[in-house]
Structure 1
Amino acid sequence: MADKTYDPVTFDIIQNGLEAIADEMFYAQVKTSMSAIIYEVLDLSTSILNPRGEIAASGAGIPAFIGVLDKAIMGILKKFPLEAIREGDVLASNDPYFGGVTHLNDMVLAQPVFHDGTLIAWVANIAHWNDVGGNVPGSMSSEATEIFQEGVRIPAVKLFMEGMQNDAVFDILKINSRLPDYLHGDLWAGIAGLRIGERRVLELVNKYGADTYEAAVQDYMDLGERRARAAIKEIPRGTYAFSEEQDSGAIHSLELTITEDEFIVDLTDNPAQSGSLNCSREGTEIAVQLAFKDFTDPDAPGNGGFFKPLKVVTKPGTIYHVEAPGALGYYSEVEIRLFDMILRALAHHFPGVVPAGNFASICGTNVGGPHPETGRHYTIVEPQVGGWGGWEGSDGVSGQFSGFHGETFNCPAEVAEARYGLGVEQVALNSEPGGEGQWRGGKGIETHYRVRADNNFLSVGYTRNRIAPWGASGGLDGSVNYVEVLRRDGGTERFSFATNLQVNKGDVIRVVTGNGGGYGDPAKRSREAIARDLRNGYLSPERAKEIYGYEA
């Protein structure tokens, strides 16, 4: 095969075809899923991988999830030698210690693709399931200390063996969930996505031949690696250290070393693992990969080849390299803190490259309980949108998910009210001060959910709840993320993390996400922009006078 000459146009067709297949897998799963976290929020991702488990092409969805799937396949291959993988197998893993990477709510499904008896590819997906058991509804507890408390563990097992369904695994999954019907539907939606992917990959292979297909995949990997190495050569060599205080008072640190052909991120000097705020070694790699790609070449292929020059150094037993049986329910808040810290470090050492800080939290919000009309248990899982930082020449974007969370959406109020037992009384931009500058930060949101039945629960996990998004080049810091429960008796309680908090009929859950940091000296903001902010309610007259010296 090495001596054969291939047509680069054919390579391009195959490479773009793989991207289209991954997208088709994605939308097949979206359109057949039961849970709004999948079909509305799009909390999933899909990929096509080579036989070694390296990403060849990825679909839409959460960037951090795409980075899971290669590591998941490699985890599967550690448990199953290649000769134990058969045509018709479908494997599942949600266990971070067996290729699951994230937390138990996120189920990875993977299927080998065989052509003429030879493994030629993998197709895989990952999606968040609303409830996989554990000691609290929604399976996410900030009080968990061991993974055993977080739900059912599926350690890279076969759902199908040579095409035959393993009913025992299906039964175990359903009996451990408070939402078995939703789990069953979401599981089969994922399987449908895999089957579409297998069919389309084989169509490509049959059309162009296995040798040409494999060569096209390798060529795409090589392109990714060339783009990454070319980008590294443009960055000044050196070692750059950075530390950042977290909401808890803990200090997170990194050391970044850039050589002629490597980008090394050393995270050994970080706190010991603790509670459910930990992430796997593989999850840490994902956060670093996303920041690396954002900084070096955002437009290059995000495949296995691109990340070959990247090296991540961790210390087992720390928050960035959890050891069993550590809990990982809020892994995402650890990873997003790392992603955010790397961007801040780059902003510090390479000014003007990245914007001011954003609200930088998944702001996971779980509400559920008996539905007020049917009595049936429901669970709503809502990541929240917030404000992005300003940058030179532009105000920050308002009401968007963090870059770490990617191309996802909030659940529309109409869908939430139809499917869940909550009333959505308000979705508005955050009017709190913060993020002023020559170019202001984008606005977060303020959403009010009214509880419609007694004995409901609320579980939340918000970081950047004390340390606000940073301002850049003289811009002011943004504002913080938090949740308030406005009790029907007039009392108010404020939270950043809470687990299984009881809320009752008439209580209001007030979600507030942060405004992004400002960019540039506020004194240089134009009077037209200040007047526009006043008209839109983004700025109070008092704040306009205090920060900008502006009086209408």
Structure 2
Amino acid sequence: MSDTTFDPVTLDIIQNALEAVADEMFAAQRKTSMSAIIYEVLDMGTGICDAKGEIASSGAGIPAFVGVLDKAVKRILEKHPAETIVPGDLFASNDPYWGGVTHLNDMILAMPVFSDGRIVAWTANIAHWNDVGGMVPGSMSSDATSIFQEGVRIPAVKLVNAGVPNEAVFDILYVNSRLPDYLRGDLWAGIAGVRIGERRILELVEKYGTETFEAALADFMELGERRARAALKTLPKGIFHFTEEQDDGAIHKVTVEIKDDEFVIDLTDNPKQSGSKNSSREGVEISAQLAFKAVTDTQAPGNGGFFKPLRVVTKPGTIFHVVEPGALGYYSEVEIRLFDLILRCLAPHLPGLVPAGNFASICGTVVGGPHPDHGRHYTIVEPQLGGWGAWMGHDGNSAIFSGFHGDTFNCPAEVAEARYGLAVDQMALNPEAGGEGAWRGGKGINVHYRVRADNNFLSIGYTRSRMPPWGVDGGLDGTPNYVEVLRPGKAPERYSFGTDIPLNTDDVVKVVTGNGGGFGDPTKRDPVAIAEDLKNGYLTAERAAEIYGYHAEAAE
């Protein structure tokens, strides 16, 4: 870059334009995808990286997904040096050991943007695909012990060479999926997304010039770093420790050291990797980045510059740094637990930062089998909504995805019934007692899926199934996440993790997610709020009397 002085207003215009480009990429991919997990739930993310792979602009989508993109592009560049890449190339990766970061269901597509004969940016996206092969439909198995059991691995390969698709790779993808039509549609939707991003960036470059565009990215990175370092100086300094018991009895530990110029998260003293509940080293970095952002400057740009003061220390072979060939099907449950762990570690030192506990699980739910209307195989993949924790002056939100999962949505009953072989008998809030306080926790959900054909299956992965969301300052703990299978004439079967659980006609999958923890002494709750809870069915008269000392007759 030359020593030219660039107009700061122009740089700001380009930086804001990049946000708009990433959002347009998101819209294009959403509108053209085949699977409801993408176009309804929005289990995806988009972003723009600079020439070296640093995240420069994040679009809409799951925060933990956007955090994947820079790490994936950097691994692509390690495998494919910049001098071997040409305009029109497009890369794919889903392998956590090759920049895929999460699990094999999540496919990353990345495309270089060229100007003046060199790469000036990358457009990238990530989305969850319903089935990429493996030992079970849906490709996520809690019984898996090796990544080889979880599906087809795409290790940062060139999917399109100078604009020409590599048909061999496309064929490998299609033949390894139980849902090849859906995979084909979702793949080309992702390609459309990165290509529209390339087009828009080239329009910016044409308008402002290559050097000005590159200067805007560099300036944005510098802004992110300045904001992060300024916020870091305001935090309490010291070394802080926290441990938390998990559902299976394992103990997770974190040490956070805050210095004037560095924020260190040490995770070395943790359990060995096990089963399919492991995270890649890069995935752990994303959890740390999200927590760092939450405690420093939430309004600053979340780009590569912002995270420079953050350092994460892990130990290979542990759940927070899986080594090959460890399985990662339920990586998300490890990372969401870590996000909580870091925030809970800092909560006593940053009053008002962390509310009471929330349901904090992706609650991945996979149901599938032969469709009752035409016999073709279907698979529904859904994360679930749940209750958020209360905090000073506010009840918790009800039926919202966890903050780690971002601005995503449930699949509407009408879409689920039209696209999949299930009937949705009930979608309601969780009426279970728990999470009471001066301000109560938000309510989880109670959803019933009725199976309409024989030889169906259920696979699930729920945490916070034994250790409930925590209450704060006298507020009561919330309630756990779980699934019950209700078979006609038989006792309910309760699960938190399970793979290929058989389902037949008229069996009901009852999904129950947790109510968030309460905040403050329950006896201090406003009687008007208690009356509203009774009216809305969030509370029984017996529970109101037991916890709040509230009697409707006396109140009247």
TM-score tier (shorter): over 0.9
Q: Secondary structure at the match of 1:304?
A: coil
2:345 corresponding residue in structure 1: 345
Q: Which deviations, in whole Å up to 9, do the C-alpha atoms of 1:273-323 show, x marking residues without a partner?
A: 000000100000001111111111111111111100101000000000000
Match of 1:251 in 2: 251
1:240 aligned residue? 240
2:429–2:444 Cα contact (<8 Å) kept: yes
Q: Which runs of 5+ in 1 are unaligned?
A: none
1:115 counterpart residue number: 115
What displacement does 1:348 show? 3.2
> Hey, what does 2:304 align to over in structure 1?
304
Per-residue displacement from partner, 1:519-546 (whole Å, max 9, x unpaired)? 1111111111111111111111111111
Deviations 1:368-396 (A, max 9, x none): 00000010100000100000000111000
Instruction: Specify the code of the residue in structure 2 equivalent to 1:378.
Output: Y
Letter in 2 for 1:110: A
**Residue deviations 1:53-112, cap 9 Å, x none?**
001101100000000000001111121111121111110000000010000000000011
1:415-453, Cα deviation, whole Å (9 max, x unpaired): 000000000011100000111111110000000000000
Residues 348-357 or 54-63, more deviating: 348-357
* 1:460–1:496 Cα contact (<8 Å) kept: yes
**Distance between the aligned counterparts of 1:519 and 1:268, measured in 2?**
32
Aligned letter for 1:103?
H
Q: Which residue of 2 aligns with 1:185?
A: 185
Letter in 1 for 2:407: E
Tell me how far 1:182 sits from its aligned partner: 0.4
Residue 140 of structure 2 aligns with an amino acid whose one-letter code is M
Alpha-carbon distance, 1:251 to partner = 0.3
Aligned partner of 2:534 in structure 1 is 534
- Identity of aligned pairs, percent? 73
CA distance in 1, matches of 2:513, 2:233: 38
SS of structure 2 residue aligned to 1:305: coil
How many residue pairs are counted as aligned between the two chains?
552
1:382 aligns with 2:406: no
Code of the residue aligned with 1:42 in structure 2: it is L
The aligned counterpart of 2:73 is 73
Residue 404 of structure 1 is matched in structure 2 by: 404
2:513 aligned with 1:517, yes or no? no
Amino acid at match of 1:343: L
Q: How is 1:305-384 mapped onto 2 (pairs within 5 angstroms)?
A: 305-384=305-384
Tell me which amino acid in the other structure corresponds to 1:21: V
Partner of 1:429: 429
Deviation at 1:367, TM superposition (A): 0.2
1:286 aligned partner, one-letter code: I
Shift of 1:116: 2.3
Deviation string 1:143-183 (CA, Å, 9 cap, x unpaired) is 00000000000001111111111000000000000000000
CA contact (8 A) 1:263 1:309 kept: yes
1:2 to partner: Cα distance: 5.2
Give me the TM-score of the superposition, normalised by structure 1: 0.99
| Mapped partners of 2:514, 2:245: distance in 1 | 18
Cα contact 2:367–2:457 (8 A) shared by 1: yes
CA distance in 2, matches of 1:195, 1:324: 33
CA–CA distance in structure 2, aligned partners of residues 473 and 202 of structure 1: 54
Q: Is the aligned partner of 1:445 residue 2:445?
A: yes
2 CA distance for matches of 1:182 and 1:489? 36
**Distance in 1 between residues matched to 2:114 and 2:63, nearest whole Å:** 27
Give the superposition deviation at 1:214.
Answer: 0.6
- Aligned residue in 1 for 2:391: 391
Q: What residue is the counterpart of 2:279 in the other structure?
A: 279
Aligned counterparts, 1:202-221, within 5 A: 202-221=202-221
The answer to whether structure 1 residue 262 and structure 2 residue 279 are counterparts is: no
Q: Distance in 2 between matches of 1:236 and 1:346?
A: 10
Question: SS state of the match for residue 347, structure 1?
Answer: helix
- Partner SS for 2:317: coil
Q: Which runs of structure 2 are paired with 1:123-142 in the superposition (5 Å)?
A: 123-142=123-142
Aligned twin of 1:545: 545
> 1:39: how far off?
0.2
Judge conservation of contact 1:344–1:357 (CA < 8 Å) in 2. Answer: no
Deviates more, 1:482-491 or 1:19-28: 482-491
- Partner Cα distance (1:246, 1:476) in 2: 19
Q: Could you tell me how far apart the structure 2 residues matched to 1:488 and 1:90 are?
A: 51
Listed as ranges, the matches of 1:46-61 within 5 Å are 46-61=46-61
Residue number in structure 2 paired with 1:198 = 198
Compute the displacement of 1:3 (Å).
2.6
TM-score calculated relative to the size of structure 2 = 0.98
Number of the residue aligned with 2:496: 496
Q: Report the Cα distance in structure 1 between the residues aligned to 2:236 and 2:128, rounded to whole angstroms.
A: 40
**2 CA distance for matches of 1:304 and 1:258?**
20
Q: How far apart in 2 are the matches of 1:75 and 1:457?
A: 36
2:306 counterpart SS class: helix
Single out whichever of 80-89 and 417-426 deviates more from structure 2: 80-89
Contact 2:391/2:519 (CA < 8 Å) preserved in 1? Answer: yes
Opposite residue 464 of structure 1, the aligned amino acid is R
C-alpha separation in 1, matches of 2:375 and 2:169 = 29
Q: After TM superposition, give the deviation of residue 490 of structure 1 in Å.
A: 2.8
For each residue in 1:239-297, what CA deviation from the matched residue of structure 2 results, as whole angstroms up to 9, or x when unmatched? 00000000000000000000001111000010000000001000000011111111111
SS of the equivalent of 1:505 reads coil
Separation (CA, whole Å) in 1 of partners of 2:472 and 2:270 = 25
Distance 1:139 1:474 in 2: 42
Q: Which residue matches 2:229?
A: 229
Q: What displacement does 1:349 show?
A: 3.3
For residue 293 of structure 1, what is the amino acid of its counterpart?
K
Q: Does 1:104 align with 2:115?
A: no
The code of the aligned residue for 1:119 comes to I
Query: 1:449 aligns to what SS in structure 2?
Result: strand
The residue matched to 1:307 in structure 2 has which SS? coil
- Separation of aligned partners in 2, 1:512 and 1:358: 14
RMSD: 0.8
In structure 2, distance between residues paired with 1:422 and 1:297: 44
Select between 1-10 and 484-493 the one with higher mean Cα deviation. Answer: 1-10
- 1:542 and 1:349 mapped to 2: Cα distance? 38
Contact kept? 2:116, 2:210, Cα under 8 Å:
no
